[in-house]
Amino acid sequence: MMDFSTEQMEEVWNWLVPTALDYGSNILQALIILIIGLWLAGRLSSWTRRSLNKYQRIDGTLKPLFASLLRYLIVIITIIAILNQFGVQTASIIAILGAAGLAIGLALQGTLQNIAAGIMLLILRPFRVGDFIDAGPVSATVDEIGLFTTQFTTVDGVYVSCPNSSIWNAKVTNYSRNGRRRMDLVVGISYEDDIGVAMTVLNGLMEKDDRVLKDPAPQCMVTTLGDNSVNITMRFWANSADFWGLKWDMTRWTKEQIEAAGLSIPFPQRDMRMIPVTTTESKVATSSVPAK
């Protein structure tokens, strides 16, 4: 059994007490930093979510995402501060995290590109759920806008999932964004028909249908003198919801009313003239054929 002298005991005590106080102080400070960091992360996350809920233009998908990102960022800063409290070289840890983040970013470049495109689509809102759009490789109705992909349903009921990056990098045509659309229907009549009668019939069709908006006023005009017909254009505006039904009905009614008025809708035709050949010309043509 080892015997310690009074001087040795004093030396150990003099070393142990400051060391314990030092480590105890570091542990206490680390606990305080941890408690404050976790509390701050939770509070700022909740505050961010409540603040974003006040803005209707920001999609509901982004609100919890921003709140979670802020919370994780504060937690990471808190962990680095705790390690620094114990003398750990946090510069090397930050460098390692940065290198790991760069490697992960390069490995998931396509995925991150889709996330970035999804966030931009949700913020700028070139289209919304329920809109019929034409964007890149797809022409369909939007069902859901996600962070990675956007889901569609085509006019024939087919489900389509398209990466956000392909939509963001393409021209987007939104057919549902505006409340009304203009329609141009071209009707051809014969050159022998009365243009005034035709325009009266077409104007009457546009005036009778309640789906045709009065402002801007409907127009009927001769636009082209074609090879086989005189082309008259019916130009009118309608609500986007009535567009296709009105187009189909108006196309049918136009043919019926034009024919009922005694007018005709000509189809492409060609006039052929037969040139008679005289007996002398026939003999000359026959003699010029080489014998076999």
* Range in 92-101, 106-115, 253-262, 276-285 with the lowest mean pLDDT: 276-285
Q: What is the CATH number of the domain that holds 87?
A: 1.10.287.1260
* Range in 2-16, 128-142, 224-238, 256-270 with the lowest mean pLDDT: 2-16
Phi, psi dihedral angles at 133 (to 5 degrees):
-130, 165
- Determine the structural domain holding residue 148 and report its residue range: 126-174
The Cα 274–Cα 277 span in angstroms is 9
**How is residue 279 written in tokens?**
């007996």
Q: Is 199 domain-assigned? A: yes
Looking at the fold, whether 154 and 80 belong to one and the same domain comes out as: no
Q: Is 7 domain-assigned? A: no
pLDDT at res. 29: 78
**How is residue 63 written in tokens?**
């609100």
Q: Is 287 domain-assigned? A: no
Q: What is the CATH number of the domain that holds 233?
A: 3.30.70.100
What is the arithmetic mean of pLDDT over 10-26? 64
Structural domain count of the chain = 3
Cα-based angle 272, 273, 274 (whole degrees, multiple of 5): 120
pTM: 0.56
Looking at the fold, whether 103 and 22 belong to one and the same domain comes out as: yes
Looking at the fold, whether 151 and 185 belong to one and the same domain comes out as: no
Looking at the fold, whether 76 and 22 belong to one and the same domain comes out as: yes
**How is residue 14 written in tokens?**
């003099």
Chain-wide mean pLDDT for the chain?
79
Looking at the fold, whether 25 and 68 belong to one and the same domain comes out as: yes
pLDDT at res. 198: 92
pLDDT in tens, 115-144: 888 888 877 888 888 889 998 788 899 988
Looking at the fold, whether 98 and 39 belong to one and the same domain comes out as: yes
pLDDT in tens, 183-205: 999 999 999 999 999 999 999 99
Looking at the fold, whether 230 and 203 belong to one and the same domain comes out as: yes
3-state DSSP assignment of residue 264: coil
Looking at the fold, whether 194 and 163 belong to one and the same domain comes out as: no
Q: Is 249 domain-assigned? A: yes
Contact 33, 78 (CB under 8 A): yes
Q: Is 184 domain-assigned? A: yes
Res. 234: pLDDT tops 90: yes
Looking at the fold, whether 28 and 103 belong to one and the same domain comes out as: yes
Helix pair 62-85, 90-107: axis angle to 10 deg: 150
Q: Is 1 domain-assigned? A: no
Looking at the fold, whether 50 and 92 belong to one and the same domain comes out as: yes
Report residue 105's pLDDT band, with 50, 70 and 90 as the boundaries.
Answer: low
* Residue where a domain stops, chosen among 59, 75, 107: 107
Question: What percent of the chain has a predicted confidence (pLDDT) above 90?
Answer: 26
Report residue 1's pLDDT band, with 50, 70 and 90 as the boundaries.
Answer: very low
